[in-house]
Structure 1
Amino acid sequence: MTHFTNTLSARLGQLQANGSETLLCGGFKGIEKESLRISRDGVIAHTPHPYALGSALTHPHITTDYSEALIELITPPFADIRDTLGYLQHIHQFVYAHLGQEILLGASMPCGISGDESIPIAEYGSSNVGKMKHIYRHGLWHRYGRTMQAIAGIHFNYSVPEALWPVLHSQENSPLSLADFIAVSYFGLIRNFQRVGWLILYLFGASPAICKSFFKSRPELMAQFEQFDAHTLYHPYATSLRMSDIGYKSKNQANLDIDYNSLSGYVESLSRAINTPYPEYEKIGTVVDGEYRQLNTHILQIENEFYSTMRPKQIAQSCEKPTVALRRRGVRYVEMRSLDLDVFDPMGIEEDTARFSEALLLTCLLTDSPLMTSQDHRTNNANQLLVAHSGRKPGLELARNGGGIGLQEWADEILDAMRPVCGVLDAGHPQQPYTAALNTQQAKVDNPDLTASARLLAAMRGRSQAFAGFAIAKSAEHAQYINGQPLDEANTQAFIDMAAQSHARQQFIESQPQLPFAEFLHRYFTQTCNETA
């Protein structure tokens, strides 16, 4: 997708000629949503993760991310996105029944923080597994600061329909085994997404402004921004500062050259970063005065520290490293990590957004995907940063094939290529929801004022509100909406049971004999551990 060839049309045409095009439908979609717990007056919560929600260590659907206050809601994967979003709503309803006077911040960029020390690091109990999770977060604090870790987002998980793989494998006359073909295809999808993923930031980015309090621990960064009002900094044409170099994109990782040309290359390059000492982190130390500051002094402590817009994923078994799980069992799904929270939607993501994302990922799968060079990586990253900071700027040009192309022209190309895919996904749906979602995004390409980032700034101006005031007010509206629709008795009992089971599971883990923590870490990194060791 450096440019659009006839590859997609040919592959789609073959599927249609064989009557197999409906195999594109029904890929599983899951959502992970992070939200900062805050008080009604907008201050980050310093209360523990509510006990009634279950154990953050072991609950499958309600946990915490970096901070004790940064709740993470995880749906199971469903073939119908309406089921995914329905489950997400059920989790919200159960959570809100146990938040007391707190609410969930509906914006990605944090409000109500006052420097790193105001952000409590998540706790996971006394087991070695729990300690490892906590110490990893301590390492992130020492490396990047806690403020960056308080940013919230949406992860959209997608797996290609299983029944599609043998047909594509045969259609391509691939000499590879089916398992290898699946891995190659997923990495082709990822490379294409890296080329065009800036479009997600343009369309759905909702973090063009930041509270000044965000910079208390890094005041030197404030000079990069214009002042919106006495409490808010912004870029006039920004889309997603969350995905910029002051958000999730870390300058410490700018020189990491992770290989997306193959599964083996990805595993090897990521493993190399996890095993390579880094002088700046060696200065921090691992154990200082008897306390762990980080898991190790390497470029990455573990795989999750690598901040990427998309990750290939495999479900890891107990104490299994993600790279080992990928090497052993291949790619099971991809995790798209570049969606901001939609501050205008109580769930943080609209159905149109999810449908568009699915169609874009299938288009990335079916389109030819050349291997990438280091220069390609730099170009893709530069395009993303440019759109994050200035995506709505009139006449903005992005880099492509050694030259430049207007953002609007390139976006039109991508959406045109997606149209036949949306047509297939709409089969059996009289209202054509995928095509409707595509048309909604086309309107945003034609008129940047319709994008979430532009609407957010316009609403702040219209209400004469700072970013924090607007975000807190919208979050309170969402809380009122969710509290006004209490969860039914059957689903409530199901979540109560899950919470009890998760606490029992944590207690069981902690009741088992524990190795000395240093020995446990050694066994984890050498993959000779078990969950309770």
Structure 2
Amino acid sequence: MTFSILDLTKTFSEKHLSAIAGVQRGIERETLRIKPDGKLSDQGHNKALGSALTHEYITTDYSESLLEFITPVSPSIDETLNQLKDIQKFTLENVEGDYFWPMSMPCMVVDQDEVQLAQYGTSNIGKMKTVYRQGLKNRYGSMMQVIAGIHFNFSFSNDFFESLQEITGDTQDKQDFISERYFSLIRNYKRFGWLIPYLFGSSPALCPSFLQGKPQSLPFKKAPAGCLYLEHATSLRMSDLGYTNTSQSNLQICNNHIDSYVAGVQKAINLPSAEFAKIGVKVDGQYQQLNSNILQIENELYAPIRPKRVAKSGQKPSEALKEGGVEYIEVRAMDVNPFVSTGISKEQMYFLDVFITLCMLKDSPTVTAEQKQIFNNNTNKVILEGRKPLLTLNDCGAEKTIPQWGNEIFVEMELIAKLYDKAYQTGEYSNVVKAELAKINDPTLTPSARIIDELLTTGKGIVTWSMDYVNQYNQEAKEHDYQVFNKDLLVELAKTSLVKQQEIEAADTLAFDEFLADYFEK
């Protein structure tokens, strides 16, 4: 039995309103470290920040210069953003004059050899993390290691699922129901996910240095100051220039059921690649990658959204899902928003609440490989030419313009926004949805259009334009008063993380070769 969004929102509003106001969120924000002149930082991860291996909130991603800030789970959007501001303030105070690059696509990198792989110490697990990144470098190039993004982690409350199960008359095991509904959400996200790069894509232009030695055939135009841009693009970060992996296109990871998804992921990490075998695994005594499979480990599976569960120590993500079911979802398709210091705004978070809830509540039939490819094609079209007049997308066989399809989707989002407004006693959700709908009908309001317009009208290059925001956000951080964390706590967390790293290193008993063999055998 299927239920309309109108019926579901009405029932929630009348009988289960409190179940709506229990969502939990967390942010993973990546940002590139730069020198005051806008060039890539050559500093390593400062000891005052703690251990990149064990710190809960401050780590590095692919390279030493790519910081990652992780906020703990919170039911409050304001608290999450203040957590992020606190972490950023502390970090800026301890990076010896470096600043944070505010864009997803990197600053000028004169020579890609400047990009240093992230280091995690001498423990086996630390070495494994660095070798994994060495493999990424050999497979996709060093410049992939300096692209930044935002990951948005989101979960509904147990009360929400209890209410939804009661409303829909479902009688299966609760965790099975939860996992099933999260996979329904993921399928709908894939169908409607083109909205995210259209509304929030913020990487339509890049510094020419990014393309050094990289073959491409995109119709770039050159701005007066020399940066390259695609006239109608929204998110070059999400294009083939950024975090995509063509070798993964034939994996056909299934999003219909948790069992088939886990089986698909586990098959992928054991599927040999003739292309990657040419790199070699251990060459002249040095590891060049963890293995020569299509995926070295599960983290290499690039997807705009992932089902997640907090894994136990030593447990692979797919094993955690198989054992305990889906706990939350991770939206990975978000560019860094250069117009706010945190890289993601309060308004974006309000919108994601509504959009994710639409994907959860809306009927979501299982999809075939062909349908999944159509969804991917729609997103790829929006990534490269989303603001092109009269661009059409495929909605179940019907060709629709973005205003046509977008307005249809927003009718249902407006109902969900009103439900959230009532649950949280605010008007912000409806206001945000109204503002985002304006972008659907006027592409000049999108951040990608704003960026290109400012680059062309000011005559500034990417670095000069970005540095205006860098200086503004650096000043904001100085003036920010700690709200959730305090400096003493963050200093203590840094010290504790260094001790934890030392303990891990001291506890190792296996040689690294044995450790890796044991890890993959399990």
TM-score norm. by structure 2 comes to 0.97
Q: Which residue of 2 aligns with 1:436?
A: 431
1:297 counterpart residue number: 292
Please tell me whether residue 499 in structure 1 is matched to residue 510 in structure 2.
Answer: no
Name 2:86's counterpart in structure 1: 90
Cross-structure match for 2:46: 50
* 2:7 counterpart of 1:10: yes
Query: SS of 1:202's equivalent?
Result: helix
1:149, distance to aligned residue in structure 2 (A): 2.5
**Is 1:27 matched up with 2:39?**
no
Counterparts of 1:140 and 1:53 in 2: how far apart (Å)?
A: 25
Is the aligned partner of 1:259 residue 2:222? no
State the alpha-carbon separation in 2 of the partners of residues 455 and 171 from structure 1: 43
The residue matched to 2:184 in structure 1 has which SS?
helix
Give 2:136's match in structure 1, choosing from 140, 143, 153: 140
Deviates more, 1:401-410 or 1:66-75: 401-410
CA distance in 1 between counterparts of 2:485 and 2:186 reads: 39
SS of 1:174's equivalent? coil
- Residue by residue, what CA displacement relative to the aligned partner does 1:409-436 show, whole Å, maximum 9, x if unpaired? 1111111111111111112655411111
TM-score (norm 1): 0.95
Are the equivalent residues in 1 in contact too, given 2:253–2:261 (CA < 8 A)?
Answer: yes
* 1:40–1:476 contact (8 Å) kept in structure 2: no
* TM-superposed deviation, 1:75: 0.3
Picking from 43, 65, 72, the partner of 1:69 is 65
Per-residue deviation, 1:228? 2.2
Q: Is the 8 A contact 1:22 1:427 kept in 2?
A: no
2:209 aligned with 1:213, yes or no? yes
Q: What SS does the corresponding residue of 2:29 show, helix, strand or coil?
A: strand
Tell me, yes or no, if the aligned pair for 1:237 and 1:389 is still in contact at 8 Å.
Answer: yes
How many pairs does the alignment contain?
Answer: 521
Structure 1: which amino acid aligns with 2:7? A
Aligned-residue Cα RMSD (Å) equals 1.6
Deviation of 1:114 (Å) = 2.7
Q: How big is the shift at 1:118?
A: 1.7
Contact persistence 1:135–1:295 (CA under 8 A): yes
Q: Post-superposition shift, 1:474?
A: 1.4
SS of residue paired to 1:398: strand
Kindly indicate whether the alpha-carbon contact (under 8 Å) linking 2:225 and 2:459 is maintained by their aligned counterparts in 1: no
Instruction: Note if 1:407 corresponds to 2:415.
Output: no
Residues 464-511 of structure 1 show CA distances to partners (whole Å, capped at 9, x for unaligned) of 111222122212221122123254797000101110110000010011
Cα drift, residue 123 of structure 1: 0.2
Does residue 149 (structure 1) correspond to residue 145 (structure 2)? The answer is: yes
Q: Is the 8 A contact 2:21 2:424 kept in 1?
A: no
Of 328, 342, 363 in structure 2, the residue corresponding to residue 347 of structure 1 is: 342
Q: Which amino acid aligns with 1:328?
A: E
The residue number in structure 1 matching 2:244 is 249
CA shift, 1:295, in A, is: 0.6
1:321 Cα offset (Å): 0.5
Q: Which runs of 5+ in 1 are unaligned?
A: 528-533
**Is the Cα contact below 8 Å between 2:123 and 2:508 reproduced in 1?**
no
Aligned to 1:509: 504
2:276 counterpart SS class: helix
Quick one: which amino acid aligns to residue 434 of structure 2?
N
Matched, 1:285 2:280: yes
Cα distance, 1:313–1:223 mapped onto 2, change above 3 Å: closer
Corresponding residue for residue 125 of structure 1: 121
Tell me how far 1:265 sits from its aligned partner. Answer: 0.7
**Mapped partners of 2:178, 2:426: distance in 1:** 32
Cα offset, 1:239, TM superposition: 0.6
What secondary structure does 1:231 align onto?
coil
Mapped pair 1:236 → 2:231: yes
Which residue of the partner structure matches residue 104 of structure 1?
A: 100
1:530 corresponds in structure 2 to: none
Contact 1:22 1:424 in 2 (8 A): no
Q: Distance in 1 between matches of 2:125 and 2:424?
A: 46
CA distance in 2 between partners of 1:375 and 1:109 (Å): 31
| 1:164 match: secondary structure | helix
Mapped contact 2:79–2:484 kept (Cα < 8 A): no
1: CA distance between counterparts of 2:413 and 2:483? 39
Deviations 1:424-465 (A, max 9, x none): 111265541111111110111121111100111111122211
Tell me: CA distance 1:488–1:163, structure 2 relative to 1, closer, same or farther (3 Å). closer
Partner of 1:451: 446
**8 A Cα contact 2:66 2:145, kept in partner:** no
Within the candidate set 315, 332, 335, 2:310 is matched to 315
CA displacement 1:125-164 (0-9 Å, x = unmatched)? 0000001100000010111112123110111100011211
**Segment drifting more, 351-360 vs 425-434:** 425-434
CA distance, structure 1, for counterparts of residue 426 and residue 361 of structure 2: 25
Query: 1:93 offset after TM fit, Å?
Result: 1.0
CA distances 1:287-319 after superposition (whole Å, capped 9, x unpaired): 111111111111101111011000111111111
CA distance in 1 between counterparts of 2:3 and 2:444 reads 33
Structure 1 CA distance, aligned partners of 2:375 and 2:74?
31
> Which 10-residue stretch deviates more, 172-181 or 375-384?
172-181
Secondary structure of 1:26's aligned partner: coil
| Structure 2 partner of 1:421 | 416
**SS in structure 2 at match of 1:163:** helix
CA contact (8 A) 2:83 2:483 kept: no
AA aligned to 2:290 is: L
The equivalences for 1:358-437 within 5 A come to 358-427=353-422, 429=424, 431-437=426-432
More moved, 411-420 vs 229-238: 229-238
Secondary structure of the corresponding residue to residue 223 of structure 2: strand
- Cα deviation for residue 337 of structure 1 reads 0.6
Moved more, 270-279 or 229-238: 229-238
Go from structure 1 to structure 2 and tell me whether the alpha carbon gap of 1:79 and 1:486 turns closer, same or farther (over 3 Å shift): closer
